[in-house]
Structure 1
Amino acid sequence: MEVTRVDKTRITYLMKGTAVGIIAGIVVSMFRLAIEELGAAVFHLYGYFHQKPLLLLPWILISILCAVVVGRLAKSDPTIKGSGIPQVEGQLQDALTVNWFSVLWKKFVGGVLGVGMGLFLGREGPSIQLGASVGQGFAEFTGADRSETKILLSSGASAGLAAAFNAPVAALLFIVEEVHHNFSPLVWLTSFTSAIVANFVSMTIFGLQPVLHMGQISSLPLKNYWLLLLLGIVLGLLGRFYQIVLLRLNQWYQKLPLPDYLHGLVPFLLVIPIGYFWRETLGGGNQIVLGFGLHLPSLTVLLFLFLLRFVFSMVSYGAALPGGIFLPILTLGGIIGAFFGQFAVMYLGMDPIFAKNFVIIAMAGYFAAIGKAPLTAIILVTEMVGSLNHLMPLGLVALIAYIVVDLLGGSPIYETLLERLVETKPSDIKGEKVVLEYAVHAESVLDGTQVRDFRWPKDMLLISIQRGEQEVLVHGDTIIQVGDLLRILTDTRHARNVYQEITALDRPALK
């Protein structure tokens, strides 16, 4: 009788992914809960300040103290600055080294203070970095090698996003599309396991309601699809503008007569008048999108809301505080969609019942334009809204917005941020041996090419090819095929350059 062989490697990674998912789910859920509780307290305080305006004076001192504390944390460990997503990508590319425990507690405290005090920052980037730190810590605790550490780090990042947004499928796609840019069986299995488990932990605490549930919304009729073409173009143009402004923030902040670690004083003080007059706009902005499910404001109000959210989200992120742009981007997209929907009703003859559709559609399109990760954008918004009725419009707008940004020369925002981060952190690169993995896609120049016929970069050695379940030893006449996973030996000093050079040489077929 034939005995079925069990792949113990996958079972092992599934179990480890489960462990990482449980721990990361708890950590990120506590992070999310702390932000919500502090945010609710701050919201009520700003309402109370209208009755007791003099209490604003001690509140200013408290805000200054918070800015100094967060600044000190970031100064002691610069890897907690910003969203944390570029840092995670840098770790996986061997461009950065990170102290996982330092990041874990400092990012937690800094993120809670920054987002909870009402700055226009998101919790998802920090959640991804917190999850990655859990994965890295688990790998260190279990004595994992470098390859396994990367898999566990990826699974932790996936768990972090899943717990932050209750979106496990989008979390997996984010790891595959945005972080790794290829499909590895062990990475997706471990990451998806962690995401599902972390999502279960999060739902146990916060309930089953989708994060941005807007109630029942009718499907957009085909006769209105021409509006999606216009919306996609608008989102692409505005998305490219967002990228340009965001990437210049550091130059503007450097002109301030303040040390870098005290740049947070600017948003921590400016948020006070915003909270006093418009406290409903504070934080990442999910409450604004939820409000659109009940009522869409006038065009004037929406325009003001967009300008306020855009400008102060830039001010908040530019100070390099521990906080993300994920949710603020979705909020800005929702505002653009609400404006476009109202405009279409008033001037283009669209039925008002379909105006809210554009809120959902524009969130995905705006994120796809800025992050250049359309699949993640589509599934993320679908899971956050809790409706499958909008997949076709989401896909169409995300594709158009992506193409517009591509034509305008825009790059994925997190990759660009990583490039700048690595340039300023040469001391974080260590010359240790590492094995890179490069996936051969259908459009690849490598498909059908003999190993000897490709102009490989220096400082590397192609050691084997993973072809399905088999590992193929490489010779000069070995023919590379679609779906192959190339295993490349190099060291951490050259890993990033080697990968980028192969990608550039492999790119002509895409033109």
Structure 2
Amino acid sequence: MPRRFRPLSTRVVWIGALAMLLGAAVAVVARALTALIGLVTNLAFYGRWSFEFSSPAGNHLGLWVIAIPVIGGLIVGLMARFGSRAIRGHGIPEAMEQVLLNESRIPPRITWLKPVSSAIAIGTGGPFGAEGPIIATGGALGSLVGQLLHVTAEERKTLLAAGAAAGMAAVFNAPVSAVLLALELLLFERRARSLIPVALGAAVGTGVRFALEGSAAMFAMPALAAPDLPALLAYLVLGLIIGALSVGITRLVYAIEDGFEKLPIHWMWWPALGAVVTGIVGYFLPATLGVGYTNISAVLGGQLGLGAMLALCLLKLVSWSISLGSGTSGGTLAPLFTIGGALGGVFGTLAVLYLPWLHVDPRMAALVCMAAIFAGASRAFLTSVVFAFETTQEPRGLLPLLIGCAAAYLISGLLMRNTIMTEKIARRGVRVPSDYAADYLDRILVRDACAREVVTLPAGQTLEATRAWLEVGGAIAQHQGFPVVDAQGALRGVVTRRDLLDRQIAGDRTVGELVKRPALAVREDHSLREAADHMVEANVGRLIVLGADGGHRMVGIITRGDLLAAHARRLRETHLASQTLRRRPATP
């Protein structure tokens, strides 16, 4: 009999405990990473030894500010060339690739190379956030733990996701959205055995952040008024616009990356070339340098004017897209939030000036567009909505966020096949799941798919007689396997058509002598998923179906073909449109 499916096992307790320890460790690593970024920033732009997390925007280096990102790019290029090429980029696609292709085994050296390279890139003015590298680092640390201990590939994936979620939660004080990010971008499933450890890891990571930095909102906002119907319609339109723009931004990033691929120089030098643009843009608008969390707070707080927000949006896009396309080490979340938030603030301010009857609040518009641009670019819909709520703790923003992110997701899904997270690995031939649906085979019972009219063979019948029957028996003799019963009708086992027709076996032998092992069976109240797993584990193509009363009464047989046929209903439900309620024809 196949093993009965259980939503949880005692292994979850062990993995959950590991995830909690991992969450605490990743939160400390996140704090260390921000301190390291602060140290590099202070040394590079202010010539002082300090771990305080500060912005490069207040520097007084003049034109020398252009050289600082270039130096950082050179160092990152060297680390990628002689350390690991996997540190290039924002880290999440690389983690996805390891989950999908390599049983979640990330090389151990990434655990320290990624945060150090990111701290150098960001600390020297790279227009990235610290969250991407710490998510990648947390995932690498979880993978490392999973490689050191005796765990399954699924459990290793759970530890990787728990580490990544703990990292995001520790940076942004956003545990729920961190769990959702792990579900939507790393786990590719929503099952209790993975959800519970990831949630525990994110919760502990947030708790450690509370102890180290407090529990205040990452991007605190003043209280906003509840939106009315015209405002909600405006946010819907904004979501549609931002969704289209997110598609354009994604294509821009990869077009720039393709451009760097065509350069006749080694990729080790590309980050330094991209950093030249970062430095030039930073010279004209210093606010584009570094992580830019203060920019997001200023936009959401309504502290920037129309011109400042427009300049921040455009120049941050130029600086970030070229830097990311060059293959340096950095994240995508904070830059996208900055670009989307500033653009939303611009739209909101224009709506107040020219369409006052819409009752749009520029701060709410900034919040909606900040989340919508990430929803469109990454298609992590729930993550985007909950993240914007958790980081601002603004409950009145939930409804506008929901409608804006849904609109952006819709447009993105219609216009773009892959996302900013999956395009890179899709180009390498990696198939990334896009929809996480319930297992269809788990919804159907064996009794609804098996064949009830079973053709059996007597155990005492000779092979010669059986072979003659196979030749003239018609359709019922064309099966690939037959149950064998004794004189009392009791099941002896199953023989295959190949064995019966094997001419090396003498024809005077009986069918019962070909039975090599007891019949593999499944009860009619098992699911097709359990039956399919049983077939794979036993390497057979058919199972005897027994009654649900727990006895040994044979009631049918189920084959691989029956499993495939069960999907016909799923395909009809998905693709066949029909009208189930029709108007009655008029009475003559």
TM-score, with structure 2 as normaliser: 0.70
CA distance in 2, matches of 1:331, 1:267: 20
The verdict on how the C-alpha distance between 1:327 and 1:293 changes in structure 2, with shifts beyond 3 A counting, is closer
The verdict on how the C-alpha distance between 1:485 and 1:10 changes in structure 2, with shifts beyond 3 A counting, is farther
Deviations 1:71-103 (A, max 9, x none): 121123111111111111112212477554210
What is the match of residue 74 of structure 1? 80
What is the match of residue 438 of structure 2? 441
CA distance in 2, matches of 1:275, 1:212: 23
Structure 1 or 2, whichever has the larger Rg, is: 2
Q: Which residue of 128, 135, 138 corresponds with 1:121?
A: 128
Deviations 1:237-294 (A, max 9, x none): 1011112112222211123342101101123233223333322221233211111244
CA distance in 2, matches of 1:482, 1:296: 56
Report the Cα offset of residue 178 of structure 1. 2.2
CA distance in 1, matches of 2:148, 2:116: 23
CA distance in 2, matches of 1:219, 1:232: 18
- What is the RMSD of the two structures over their aligned residues, measured on CA atoms? 3.6
Alignment pair present for 1:285 and 2:287: no
Report the Cα offset of residue 507 of structure 1. 7.4
Alignment pair present for 1:249 and 2:256: yes
- State the identity as a percent: 23
The verdict on how the C-alpha distance between 1:343 and 1:485 changes in structure 2, with shifts beyond 3 A counting, is farther
Report the Cα offset of residue 47 of structure 1. 7.0
CA distance in 2, matches of 1:375, 1:485: 32
The verdict on how the C-alpha distance between 1:12 and 1:39 changes in structure 2, with shifts beyond 3 A counting, is same
CA distance in 1, matches of 2:46, 2:112: 27
What is the match of residue 497 of structure 1? none
CA distance in 2, matches of 1:488, 1:370: 41
Superposed, which structure 2 residues align to 1:281-430 within 5 Å?
281-350=288-357, 354-421=361-428
CA distance in 2, matches of 1:245, 1:415: 15
CA distance in 1, matches of 2:409, 2:247: 10
Q: Which residue of 8, 17, 20 corresponds with 1:18?
A: 20
What is the match of residue 489 of structure 2? none
Report the Cα offset of residue 11 of structure 1. 2.4
CA distance in 2, matches of 1:146, 1:97: 7
CA distance in 2, matches of 1:27, 1:17: 15
What is the match of residue 32 of structure 2? 30
Alignment pair present for 1:190 and 2:197: yes
- Structure scoring higher RCO (CA < 8 A, sep ≥ 6) equals 1
Deviating beyond 3 angstroms after TM superposition, the runs of 4 or more aligned structure 1 residues are 36-50, 62-65, 95-100, 293-301, 350-353, 444-454, 473-490, 504-511
The verdict on how the C-alpha distance between 1:237 and 1:204 changes in structure 2, with shifts beyond 3 A counting, is same
How many residues are paired up? 459
Amino acid at match of 1:16: L
CA distance in 1, matches of 2:571, 2:336: 29
Report the Cα offset of residue 151 of structure 1. 1.8
CA distance in 1, matches of 2:29, 2:368: 31
Report the Cα offset of residue 27 of structure 1. 1.1
Q: Secondary structure at the residue paired with 2:119?
A: helix
Deviations 1:3-53 (A, max 9, x none): xxx964332222111111111111122112322443456565767864x65
CA distance in 2, matches of 1:487, 1:102: 39
The verdict on how the C-alpha distance between 1:293 and 1:327 changes in structure 2, with shifts beyond 3 A counting, is closer
Contact 1:131 1:159 in 2 (8 A): yes
The verdict on how the C-alpha distance between 1:210 and 1:507 changes in structure 2, with shifts beyond 3 A counting, is farther
Q: Secondary structure at the residue paired with 1:413?
A: coil
Unaligned 5+ runs, structure 1: 1-5, 424-435, 455-472, 491-503
Report the Cα offset of residue 205 of structure 1. 2.2
CA distance in 1, matches of 2:123, 2:111: 17
The verdict on how the C-alpha distance between 1:291 and 1:80 changes in structure 2, with shifts beyond 3 A counting, is same
